[in-house]
Amino acid sequence: MEHLVQFYAIYGSLINFIGLNALLALSLNVTLAAGMLSLGNAAFAALGAYTAGILTVHYHLPFIPAIAAGAILPGLAAVVLGLPVLRLKGVFLAMATLAFGEVVRIAAVNLEITGGAEGLTGIPNVTNVWMIYLALALAAYFVAVLRRSQLGWGLLSIREDETAAACLGIPIFRYKLLAFVIGAMLAGLAGALYAHLNYLITPRDYGFFIAVDLLIYNIVGGTRAWYGPVMGAALLTALPEILRGIGVAAGPIRMGVNGLILLLVILFLPNGLASLINRPRAVTATPEASGQRA
């Protein structure tokens, strides 16, 4: 027990961050399940963080309602954003959500209620490690159930072939919007928890590079099951610490090794880390499919 306490004293913040990043990665996983490449989930997390933070700091709301609001408001924002944007596909959807993310970041810098560039400070520190992991466990369970539901199969068929899915009578747009909103709410929840863990949120906390990180967690971990993004987030969040542990000096070398490991996983584990546990059929394109571009 004493060892456990000591371990937590040293690695507590790392453990917390693994949980939060895994939650964020799961939020993107829901949108990726429908083949939608969104770079907006970091912005949804920022919305959740600021909503919950502002509610507790300025309006002295209790923790639970503030967290709930932190999940709901990004969900509403996702409806408003998704209605026009989800018609776009692939890189174009990524760019539109990226532009949304930048607008959110710039708004946070310029608004008064968000505390401007210095960020919102004095957020009560309420979030605990068990809350993070409870939220993560519930989210993981939810994603696992979702995958086997009618919605889950619908999303998968949209990802594989949207035209064929439409011919099967799947309400494409409604399903996509639903996945987008669920992802946004999970991201908002992670943001709200983060805000109450860290005393402080700044506009830089959820910028473009975080949005890209979420995608990296998913691809490195594997997008086909709930544990993929969790594994990806855990490995990549802990990687700098692991490298430090085995004596890789800080600075450019650690950064380079970090990049190389990412590259190796992409090149040699096509379905991500999750394929180490449970090998699904390797999905390689037939020459016909890869030779023909849309």
**Residue pointed to by tokens 């996702």:** 78
Site for another protein in 101-140 (CB under 8 A): 102-103, 106-107, 109-110
Give CA–CA dist 160/100, Å, rounded: 26
Complex with another protein: residue 132 or 220, whichever CB lies closer: 220
Q: Please tell me the distance from the alpha carbon of residue 21 to that of residue 132, in angstroms, as a whole number.
A: 10
Residue choice 14, 37, 72, 200 for contact with another protein (CB under 8 A):
37
Write the single-letter amino acid at 147.
R
Distance CA 204, CA 189 (A): 18
Rounded Cα distance between 14 and 290, Å, is 40
| CB-based contacts of 207, cutoff 8 Å, min separation 6 | 42, 101, 105
Based on the shown chain and the rule CB under 8 A, indicate whether residue 294 belongs to the binding site for another protein: yes
If the CB atoms of residues 171 and 256 are measured against another protein, the closer one turns out to be: 256
Q: Scanning the structure block, which residue is given the tokens 């969040």? A: 237
- When asked if residue 184 is in the footprint of another protein (CB under 8 A), the reply is no
In terms of Cα–Cα distance, which of 226, 195, 220, 203 is closest to 16? 195
Residue of 138, 144, 255, 277 that binds another protein (CB under 8 A): 255
Q: Is 250 in the site for another protein (CB under 8 A)?
A: no
Amino acid making up residue 218: N
Confirm or reject binding of residue 89 to another protein (CB under 8 A).
Answer: yes
Q: Work out how close the CB of 3 gets to another protein at its nearest, in angstroms, rounded to a whole number.
A: 35
261 CB neighbour count, 10 Å cutoff: 16
Our finding on whether 206 is near another protein (CB under 8 A) is: no
Of the residues 10, 138, 266, 276, which one makes contact with another protein according to CB under 8 A: 266
Position 289 contacts another protein (CB under 8 A): yes
User: Residue 118 to residues 13, 45, 106, 109, 264: CA-CA distances in angstroms?
Assistant: 22, 18, 13, 8, 38
Query: Binding-site residue total for another protein (CB under 8 A)?
Result: 49
Closest separation in Å from C-beta 41 to another protein:
15
Site stretch for another protein (CB under 8 A), options 48-56, 193-201, 234-242, 252-260:
252-260
Residue 212 in contact with another protein, rule: CB under 8 A: yes
Which two tokens mark 242? 């692991």
3-class DSSP assignment, residue 6: helix
Residue 230: both structure tokens together: 């969790």
Q: Is 80 in the site for another protein (CB under 8 A)?
A: no
Contact stretch for another protein (CB under 8 A) within 69-77, 94-102, 118-126, 191-199 = 94-102
Summarize as ranges the residues that interact with another protein (CB under 8 A).
37, 84-85, 88-92, 95-96, 98-100, 102-103, 106-107, 109-110, 208-209, 212, 215-216, 219-220, 251-253, 255-256, 258-260, 262-263, 266-267, 270, 283-285, 287, 289-294
